[in-house]
Structure 1
Amino acid sequence: MKLTVVGGGSTYTPELIDGFARLRDTLPVTELALVDPDTERLELVGGLARRIFAKQGHPGLVTTTSDLDAGVDGADAVLLQLRVGGQAARQRDETWPLECGCVGQETTGAGGLAKALRTVPVVLDIAERVRRSSPRAWIIDFTNPVGIVTRALLQAGHRAVGLCNVAIGFQRKFAKLLGADPGAVHLDHVGLNHLTWERGVRLGGPDGEDVLPRLLAEHGDAIADDLRLPRAVLDRLGVVPSYYLRYFYAHDEVVRESATRPPRAAEVAEMERRLLEMYADPALDEKPELLAGRGGAFYSEAAVDLAASLLGSGSGPRPQVVNTYNDGTLPFLPDDAVIEAQAAVDSSGASPLAIPELDPLHAGLISHVSAYEDLALEAALRGGRDRVFKALLAHPLVGQYATADGLTDRLIAHNREHLAWA
């Protein structure tokens, strides 16, 4: 079995490698191909990957290449984890929206739109090259904004599923609080990528006891602290929103905070510098503790489970939280909207499980952001200032024509080198 990681020079990659090594019985990889245009980073990460495999007794071959076509040739699955423009583009995404009084964030709001415009054309080109050389390969997209990118892939007819680590992060946190095995914790997880709520936490499977009320009663303060939301908000909602909902529920507070501290991208860039120094140490043969602060916790476990199910090496269809077509699951959305929810996954793909009727509080925001995503994808595929403006005007974190105009000008100015039409 050959797996290819596009963006293999990312400092995230050792997290993925560690999972492949530990969970080799679940996903028996014979060749892991790391692809990245940055050959210096690629060799550092590739060297550490080989040492991790060797230490854990994994017999698989780790190869590295900057040639995308060679890297994806013969692949059974291709994982996408790229960042067009690097951390420099991310830092811009986190700063120029603040000039218009809006949240600066890499996946939400105006910064998220900028990332989609840079990313969608690149990902579609990669996917076409995968289709030419390995037409039966599955594409697993971890590249943000996952919902928009996954929809672009699916609309173009690619065998693709989107993946985010928010759900598995909640699963592991809740399991620890409950003193339960993570595999016994099933989430009633619903929404769009980076716009989700945990409406139930069930022990033993989808039909198990819902212990969310107990979690909130006994551990509400700790959960609220993690989300940086008041405990009273969780009690009133009766659900656990993802931490990305803070950008919606406390927008002005986040903007004020952002004006007084360095952007997250600067912190991540420094962390990446230190990680790459560690990766260069030939004695290092495990993922360093510092990597936990980089983000992407439990990504490897989620990726292994998803790839194993798609490639038929798992134990049959089972629920996993993924990004895939709505297909009538949420009746207020078009079938071709991409939702993030529990789905049965096997070698034929992902089929969302039935979801009980949503509270209008959740359904309304999902509908609003899904409409924005329609316009964002149109702008990413066809370009043009007016399409960018309309997407921003439709976003619930923007919504005013003067603000949308100012954001549009800044978005284009800061991303011109990545926009073929600009």
Structure 2
Amino acid sequence: MKLAVVGGGSTYTPELVDGFARLRDTLPVEELVLIDPAAERLELVGGLARRIFAKQGHPGRIVTTDDVAAGVAGADAVLLQLRVGGQAARNQDETWPLECGCVGQETTGAGGLAKAMRTVPVVLDIAEQVRRTAPDAWIIDFTNPVGIVTRALLRAGHRAVGLCNVAIGFQRKFARLLDVAPEQVHLDHVGLNHLTWERGVRLGGPDGEDVLPRLLAEHGDAIAEDLHLPRRVIDRLGVVPSYYLRYYYAHDAVVRELGTKPSRAAEVAEMEKQLLRMYGDPALDEKPELLSRRGGAFYSEAAVALAASLLRPQSPSWRGDVQVVNTLNNGTLPFLPDDAVVEVPARVDGTGATPLPVPPLEPLFAGLVAAVTAYEDLALTAALHGGRDRVFAALLAHPLIGQYEYAEKLTDRLVAHNREHFAWA
């Protein structure tokens, strides 16, 4: 089995490699190709990756290259984890929206639109190279904003599934609180990427006992603290929102908070410098503890599970695994278009991801999902075709913006900070 990772020079890659090494019985990787144009970073990350495999006795071969077409050729699965513009572009995404009184965040609001517009054309170009050199490969997209990027891939006819670590993070957190194995926890997870709610926490299977009321009663304070929301808000909702809902439920407070401290991009950039120095140590043969602060917890486990299900040989007795992924709506949420991308539990096998039935979504959540879906459609149009009017329309439609004066100012800043990435600007 051959896997390719586009963006393989990321400081996060050793987390993935560690997962591939530990879980090799689930996903028997024979060749892992790390692809990245940043030669110096790739050399450091590739060296540590080989040492991790060697320490854990993994027989697979690790190859590094800056050639996408050669790297993905013949791959069974291609994992996308790229960041167009690097942390410098992310820092801009997290700062200039604040100048207009709006949240500065890399996947949500105006910053998320900027990232989508830089990213979608690059991802589609990579996907076409995959189509030419590995036509049967699955594309697993980690690249944010996952919902918009995955929608672009699926609209273009690629074999793609989007993946986020929010659901697996909640699964592991709830398992610890309940003192059970993570495999015993199944989530009634619903919404869009970075706009989701846990409406149920079931033990033993998708139809098991719902222990969410017990979790909220016994651990509501801890859950609320992790989400940076008041306990009373969680109790009134009766569900557990993802931490990205804080940008909606406490927008003005978050804007004030972000204006008083360095951006997350600045923190990550400094962390990456330290990590790369560590990766250059020939004695280091495991992922360092500092990497846990980089973000992306449990991505490796989720990625292994998804790739293993997509690539598992078909048999009459196996009907796929249930995993939370980003895939086509196709009637799952009937108030959304079929080609919208939703984040829900789905049955995953060699044919792809088929969402499980979802109970009707309460109006309190459905309205926001519908509005953000409309924004995502406009954002994808702007990413594919460019133009200031399309940028303005997407910004005006976003629930975190929604005022023409803000949308006009944000359009000016988005274009000004991204001219090098936009051929039309």
TM-score band, normalised by the shorter chain?
Answer: over 0.9
RMSD: 0.7
1:21 matched residue in structure 2: 21
Q: Which residue of 2 aligns with 1:208?
A: 208
Please report how far the alpha carbon of residue 58 of structure 1 lies from its aligned counterpart in structure 2 after TM superposition.
0.4
Q: Partners in 2 of 1:201 and 1:57 — Cα distance?
A: 37
Amino acid at match of 2:120: V
Gaps of 5+ in 1: none
Cα shift at 1:342: 0.3
Tell me how far 1:312 sits from its aligned partner.
1.1
**Alignment-derived partner of residue 117 in structure 1:** 117
- Say if 2:257 is the partner of 1:257: yes
1:395 has 2:402 as partner = no
CA–CA separation in structure 1 for the residues paired with 2:178 and 2:48? 35
**Whole-Å Cα distance in 2 between the matches of residues 136 and 354 of structure 1?**
28
- Distance in 2 (CA, whole Å) between partners of 1:317 and 1:233 is 37
| Mapped pair 1:351 → 2:354 | yes
Q: Aligned letter for 1:154?
A: L
Aligned-partner SS, 2:418:
helix
Give deviations 1:338-383, integer Å, cap 9, x for gaps.
0000000000000000000111001000000000000000000010
Q: Deviations over 1:221-267 (max 9, x none)?
A: 00000000000000000000000000000000000001110000000
Q: What residue identity is the alignment partner of 2:406?
A: T
1:83 aligns with: 83
Could you tell me how far apart the structure 2 residues matched to 1:11 and 1:401 are? 39
Does the 8 Å CA contact 1:131/1:158 hold for their aligned counterparts? yes
Q: Is 1:360–2:363 an aligned residue pair?
A: yes
**Equivalent residue for 1:373, pick from 369, 372, 376:** 376
> Would you say the 8 A contact 1:53–1:60 is kept in 2?
yes
- 1:84 is displaced (CA, Å) by 0.1
* Residue correspondence of structure 1 range 139-158 to structure 2 within 5 A: 139-158=139-158
**Structure 1 runs of 4+ off > 2 angstroms?**
313-316
The separation in 1 between residues aligned to 2:101 and 2:313, in whole angstroms, is: 49
Alignment partner, residue 37 of structure 1: 37
Find the residue that maps to 1:191 and give its secondary structure: strand
SS of aligned partner of 2:191:
strand
Summarize the alignment of residues 109-188 of structure 1 with structure 2, pairs less than 5 Å apart. Answer: 109-188=109-188
Equivalent position to 2:420, from 412, 417, 420: 417
Shift of 1:73: 0.6
1:330·1:355 contact (CA, 8 Å) conserved in 2?
A: yes
| Alignment partners' CA distance in 1, 2:319 and 2:15 | 25
Q: Is the Cα contact below 8 Å between 1:322 and 1:341 reproduced in 2?
A: yes
Partner residue in 2 for 1:196 = 196
Q: Within 5 Å, which residues of 2 pair with 1:216-365?
A: 216-312=216-312, 316-365=319-368
How much has 1:420 moved relative to structure 2?
1.2
Distance in structure 2 (CA, Å) of the matches to 1:179 and 1:196: 24
Question: What amino acid sits opposite 1:410 in the alignment?
Answer: R
Contact 1:83 1:143 in 2 (8 A): yes
- Distance, in Å, in 2 between the alignment partners of 1:318 and 1:259 is 43
1:293-329 deviations in Å (ceiling 9; x for gaps): 0000000000000000000169650110000000000
How many residues were matched structurally?
A: 422
> Paired residue for 1:60?
60
Contact conserved, 1:203 with 1:210, CA < 8 A, in 2? yes
For the residue of structure 2 that corresponds to 1:110, the secondary structure is: helix
Aligned match of 1:408: 411
Distance 2:63 2:397 in 1: 44
Whole-Å Cα distance in 2 between the matches of residues 317 and 328 of structure 1? 20
Offset of residue 403 of structure 1? 0.5
How big is the shift at 1:279? 0.4
Name the CA distance, whole Å, in 2 between partners of 1:199 and 1:318.
21
Instruction: Please report how far the alpha carbon of residue 277 of structure 1 lies from its aligned counterpart in structure 2 after TM superposition.
Output: 0.5
What is the deviation of 1:77? 0.3
**C-alpha distance in 2, partners of 1:358/1:84?**
35
Looking at structure 1, the residues matched to 228 and 406 of structure 2 have their Cα atoms a distance apart, in angstroms, of 27
- Do the aligned residues in 2 keep the contact of 1:309 with 1:316 (CA within 8 Å)? no
> TM-score by structure 1 length?
0.99
Counterpart amino acid of residue 178 in structure 1:
L
Q: SS at the partner of 1:269?
A: helix
Give the secondary structure class of the aligned counterpart of 2:327. Answer: strand
Per the normalisation by structure 2, the TM-score is 0.99
CA distance in 1, matches of 2:301, 2:16: 8
* Equivalent residues of 1:49, 1:62 under 8 A apart: yes
- After superposition, the C-alpha distances for 1:52-106 in whole angstroms (9 at most, x for unaligned) are 0001010000000011111001100000000000000000000000010000000
1:149-189 C-alpha deviation (Å, 9 max, x unpaired): 00000000000000000000000000000001000100000
Whichever residue aligns with residue 20 of structure 2, its letter is F
Identify the match of residue 387 of structure 2 among 375, 381, 384: 384
Cα deviation for residue 402 of structure 1 reads 0.7
CA distance 1:10–1:313, change in 2 (3 Å): farther
Q: How far apart, CA to CA, are the structure 2 residues paired with 1:144 and 1:189? A: 19
- One-letter amino acid of the structure 2 residue matched with residue 372 of structure 1: Y
